[in-house]
Structure 1
Amino acid sequence: MVDWDLAVSLGTRVAGEGPAVTRDEAAAAVAELRAGAERSTGLVREFTGLVAEERTAPVLVVDRAGWVQANADGFRTVLAPVIETLTAKKAPGALSQAIGSKVTGVEVGGLLGFLAGKVLGQFDPFHAPHGRLLLVAPNIVHVERELPADPTDFRLWVCLHEETHRVQFTAVPWMRDHLFAQVEALAATMEPTVLLDDGFKRVVEAIKQGPGAGSLLDVVGSPEQKEILDRVTAVMSLLEGHADVVMDGVGPAVIPSVAKIRASFDERRKGVGSLDRILRRLLGLDAKMAQYRDGARFVRGVVDKVGMADFNAVWERPENLPTPAEVAEPDLWVSRVL
């Protein structure tokens, strides 16, 4: 269903190489990011109380092409249940005729290419056996120049956020399986005919509606699918908000210019040109920005009321994860879980 080689090739071309740097500048950035990731492990553990074995998930400092390849590999893993379901429900020949692996390869490649120029770092929980942490050096250099920010401070700030994700998944080993189970549940609800016949029309309509419309997931999702996506969104809000709280909590003690970085970075998250805003909305990146904000508000609301030690009950089992309503009202989570 997907020509992954084509997706990687196209995605790499769309992404480009990033800012111009000398060999020495590139080597210095890579070394500083590696050191920042290693230093962040202890800082995150001390602040959160979460204990993860060190070096269980490798740290990879990559260029944009490396990020595209890594995410194509990740998509292949995550989408496997979806592809298996669609293939089982409709004959492969009909699927090939309706979509074609080349077409979907182009679509995935375009998506990866766009995102490869935006992402600073990412923890990939689905890479066997324990996940891996990706730091995209050219994008980090590009943003620190654009803000502008002190390179050493900004690199450690990014590492703190991404290392928090590594700790979340390695200290909470059931989290990976829980998220993958949501993908499998989503796959079980998919009907190829509805997806292929109605999906494109609804996407076009979403574009016409302008800024008030939802993302691609909003316009093609059935009520059952949206219920699953709401659960996933609540978990992602927790993970992203928790990482933002950690980076802001640890930052002042180790990053002299953290206040300036945060203010400049929050402004940058809003997007720049009109095309960028449209793509962000359609790809769900606006929703991701909301995840940072809503999740951080949830984490701070609970921690302010009961402390970090009691907040960590959220990591004990899947039943303790917040619902969408609880993300919006932390007191509901405190009443239910604690």
Structure 2
Amino acid sequence: MPMSSELQQSAATDDDAGTGQNESVGARIDWALAAATGRRLSRPGPKTTGYTLDAAHAELADAATRAEGPVREITGLADGLRVPTTRILDRRQWVDAAALSMRSMLGVEDAAGDTAPSGFAALTAKVGGVQAGGLLAFLSGAILGQYDPFTPDPDTGEPGVLMVVAPNIIAVERALRVVPSDFRLWVCLHEVTHRVQFSANPWLRQYMIDNLEILTSESQESIGEITARITSTLRGDSDQPREKGVLGAMQLMQTPEQYEAFNRMMMLGTLLEGHADHVMDAVGPTHVPTVASIRQAFDKRRTSPRNPVQRIIRALIGMDAKLAQYIRGKAFVDEVVDAAGMTAFNTIWTSPETMPRPSEIDEPRAWMQRVL
């Protein structure tokens, strides 16, 4: 899935106040600088010969194509649609692609012909660009694959590109000591499932865009209104149930509309990742001979202890929350499919109203009762 993050806040300029325009978070980031910073800071991949790297690229491209058939068969989605191409990237290429995806996702238009920002706006855009570049550099060494529903496919011009980061896959398969060809297909099964989800349900892309626009829009609340809402909630005067931990903090700082959009995005991400993990395990035994040992080694790696700096970074950028999405989402999909079958489960892709609610993601029977 694509990333979204409020990387830099800036105060409104006098010109903004005069026009009443709302500027999205993405527009306050210099994305060209972010890409350049990310490329410069990204670490090189594992040492390989040119022959080994070329062979890995060819095998990954083939695996992404071969994965499409089993994924479509098990999910019952995207039948008859063309099989798109897959981009096999190195880490620096992924940084460029991710920066472009973020621009598209956050609705930032090309600045050609526009007046370049100046003064404080230009400074905050550059600071945001450096921060975003640092995040991209860190993630460039962690991402195995990603489906980007926002960037146009170079072959068709239609939104949606599947990207696989070859050096990261090579690094992980070496660390886990698994069969490379099996691991590469196993990874592609997960990422291709995301491609199938969006290909079969084009409305998902606009659903994400609509919620992201709410999340990244400038709040019209004054500091006094925000403070009053936080104080009221902390005193227990609010009628709204209060979340705990990080979610509770976000609930306090966001407007009610933004928090609802955040919840919708969280539920969508949990569903997409859990569905992909379910498909991996359903398809794997037939098509990936060593899938049991791969899953065991990979899950152990996901949950293994990390040094304090890594733990802090993972918490700040939400990687541990992402792991929780896989676990909760897969449990939800497993139970619904076991109880009702895949055809009935696919009702979930009908519209935003059939998406699981926060109260239902851990209670699949409640979703089945409401929707099925």
Partner of 1:287: 321
Tell whether 2:43 aligns with 1:10: no
Q: Quick one: which of 125, 128, 148 aligns to 1:124?
A: 148
Cα separation, partners in 2 of 1:36 and 1:222, compared to 1, 3 Å: same
Q: Confirm or deny that 1:102 pairs with 2:129.
A: no
Paired-residue identity, %: 46
SS at 1:131 equivalent: strand
**C-alpha distance 213-37 of structure 1, shift in aligned 2 (>3 A):** same
Superposed CA deviations along residues 124-150 of structure 1, whole A, max 9, x for unmatched, are: 001132300000000000000011211
Equivalent in 36, 43, 46 of residue 19 of structure 1: 46
CA deviation vs aligned residue, 1:86-114 (integer Å, no higher than 9, x gap): xxxxxx767517x5221111000000000
Match of 2:62 in 1: 35
- Among candidates 282, 305, 322, match of residue 356 of structure 2: 322
The alignment's TM-score, normalised by the length of structure 2, stands at: 0.79
Q: 2 CA distance for matches of 1:240 and 1:170?
A: 16
Describe the shift of the 1:81–1:227 C-alpha distance in structure 2 as closer, same or farther (beyond 3 A). farther
State the distance in 2 between where 1:192 and 1:119 align: 37
Amino acid at match of 1:118: A
For 1:274 and 1:53, the matched residues in 2 are separated by 48
Instruction: Name the stretch that deviates more: 162-171 or 277-286.
Output: 277-286
**Cα pair 2:144 2:165 within 8 Å, conserved:** yes
* Matched residue, 1:111: 135
* CA displacement, residues 51-75 of structure 1 (integer Å, 9 cap, x when unaligned): 2554464310000011100110011
| Correspondence 1:309 to 2:333 | no
Change in Cα spacing, 1:183 to 1:52, as seen in structure 2 (3 Å) is farther
How far apart are the structure 2 equivalents of 1:81 and 1:216? 29
Displacement over 6 Å in runs of 4+: none
d(CA) in 1 for partners of 2:323, 2:29: 29
* Alpha-carbon offset, residue 270 of structure 1: 2.6
Contact 1:7 1:106 in 2 (8 A): yes
Partner of 2:178: helix, strand, or coil? Answer: coil
Choose between structure 1 and 2: higher helix proportion: 1
Is the Cα–Cα contact under 8 Å of residues 68 and 83 in structure 2 kept in the other structure? no
In structure 2, what is the equivalent of residue 202 of structure 1? none
- Superposition map of 1:83-102 within 5 A: 96=121, 100-102=124-126
Q: Would the alpha carbon gap of residues 153 and 166 (structure 1) be closer, same or farther in structure 2, given more than 3 Å must change? A: same
Please give the per-residue CA displacement for 1:229-270, whole angstroms capped at 9, x wherever unaligned.
Answer: 111110110000000000011001111111111111112123
Q: Secondary structure at the match of 1:106?
A: helix
The alignment's TM-score, normalised by the length of structure 1, stands at: 0.86
Q: Secondary structure at 1:328's aligned position in 2?
A: coil
The aligned counterpart of 1:171 is 200
Aligned-residue offset at 1:216: 12
Larger radius of gyration: 2
What is the number of residues matched between the two proteins? 315
Change (3 A) 1:266 1:193: farther
* Aligned residue number for residue 154 of structure 1: 183
Kept in 1, the 8 Å contact 2:65–2:83? The answer is: no
